[in-house]
Every structure is written in C-alpha cells, then in structure tokens.
Amino acid sequence: MSPIVPLIVSLLGVGALVPAQRLHSGDAAGTGQVLVAESFEDGWKDRWQERRLARRATRYRVEDDGGQPVLVAESRSAASGLWRPAPLESPRSGRLTWRWNVERVIPGNEHEREKRGDDFAARVFVVFGGEFPSRSNKALCYVWAASEPIGSVYPSPYAANVAMVVVASGDSGVGTWRRVERDIIADYRAFFGHDPDELSGVALMVDTDNTRSEVRTYFDDLQLTAATATASR
C-alpha cells in the first residue's frame, strides 16, 4: 500500500486549524524539549537564516499587530524562505504549533501538484536530516493551498522526499489569524514509513515565482517541541 493512503487517514485526526489566541513563548505544545519558541520579538533576524530559491526573493519583515510583533511575508513573483536550525537526534515524539494569517490565496491556482503551480500563500516546513533547502534531506511541508482540499498529502513535484500536507485551503479563514497544531512524528511515520533519525529544524516560506502572482501573509507564535526515545519513556 502506498504510504500516502494511511497518511491521509491519520491527518484527518492529527492537527487542527482553529481561530487562534497568541501563545506565550514559554508554553509547551506537549511534552518534550522546547526547540523553538518564536514570537518574532527583537533579535529574530539572528535566529533565522534567509534561503533564496529564485532570482527574486520574498520580503520578510516584522510589523506591529495589535501591540504584538508578527512576521510579514510579501512575495511578488518571488521565492525564498527563512530557516531556523533546531537539531535533535532520534526524535520519537514532537509537536509543532503556529499561527498564520493569509490575506488571500494564489488566484486561480489549480495545478498545485505540478511544478508550474507549486506556489503557496503560506508554507511551514519541518526538516529532517539536513538543512533547508536540500535534495538529500526529508521534510514535511504544511501548506495553505488555493485549491487542493484539506487532508491532501502528496510528494512535492520538485522533491519526492518532501511531503506536501494541506492543512488549510481556499478562502475559508482568509484574513483572520488561524492556529495549527501538528504531531510531526506521526505525520513523518505515516508518509515515510519509519521513524526519523534526526530532526534538523523548521522553515517558513511564501513563494509565487511559478505563478507570477502576489500574496501577503503573516506568521507568529511558532513553537516546536520534541523528545528522544529515552526522554519519552
């Protein structure tokens, strides 16, 4: 059986997209070591590394939103991401939570499984076994899609070792803050069929280079917790 089939089933019960409240950086999203607790306050640029994937880069900056800093990403026919290392060997449990707010999805994009439509208004990556981006590592790529339905899971058209996981889709929820929570180890096992050897870090990306479109997206309150086999016993 294809590993994608059980993954689709598991994704229906693992993770949620709900109206969001701002998290405190010290709140743990489950048991384990807090590897990332990012609210984009002062010094955020020292914690994140920009990775350009096209001639034109997505613009990332922090703005005030109701008295709180949030990350703003503006992409105009551009593609680049922000990478934050968070290494941990032999993770056996892990959870990722974040908030995002998409002003609009990419208009008319009905080819998201193909290279020509592989653009998304918002992506959050969890990377295993290497830095971002790389053809040698494995990754979960959680996306806000334009047309692919929630629960869709498929290999990236650019890299079969990247699982595209649709956790939000279309105009539902556009323009409002939404919170997502994922069991990253369950998602990894379901797609790849085994436990990860190494957790490497997380990345954020907004890209519109294939569709030559423009979008503006906000991110905040990203938290990654994980535990090794020894710690989770």
Q: How many helices, marked H, and strands, marked E, lie in the chain?
A: 3, 14
Domain boundaries, the chain: 4-228
Closest to 32 (Cα-Cα) out of 231, 218, 229: 231
Cβ 227 vs Cβ 32: under 8 Å:
yes
What's the confidence (pLDDT) of residue 22? 39
What's the confidence (pLDDT) of residue 136? 81
Neighbours of 72 (CB within 10 A): 19
Neighbours of 16 (CB within 10 A): 12
Residues 6 or more apart from 102 whose CB is under 8 A from it?
121, 122, 144, 168, 173, 174, 175, 215, 217, 218
What's the confidence (pLDDT) of residue 27? 37
4-228 classified as CATH 2.60.120.260? yes
What's the confidence (pLDDT) of residue 31? 65
Looking at residue 117, the DSSP 8-state letter turns out to be G
Provide the CB-side half-sphere exposure for 199 (13 A, CA): 30
> What tens-digit pLDDT sequence spans the chain (233 residues)?
333 333 333 333 334 444 443 333 333 344 689 999 999 999 999 999 999 988 899 999 999 999 999 999 999 999 999 999 999 999 999 999 999 999 999 999 999 999 999 999 999 999 999 889 888 899 999 999 999 999 999 999 999 999 999 999 999 999 999 999 999 999 999 999 999 999 999 999 999 999 999 999 999 999 999 999 765 44
Cβ 179 vs Cβ 218: under 8 Å:
no
CA angle at residue 132 from 130 to 134, to 5 degrees? 70
- Pairing, β 120-128 against β 198-207: antiparallel
Give the separation between CA 106 and CA 196, rounded to whole angstroms. 32
What's the confidence (pLDDT) of residue 134? 81
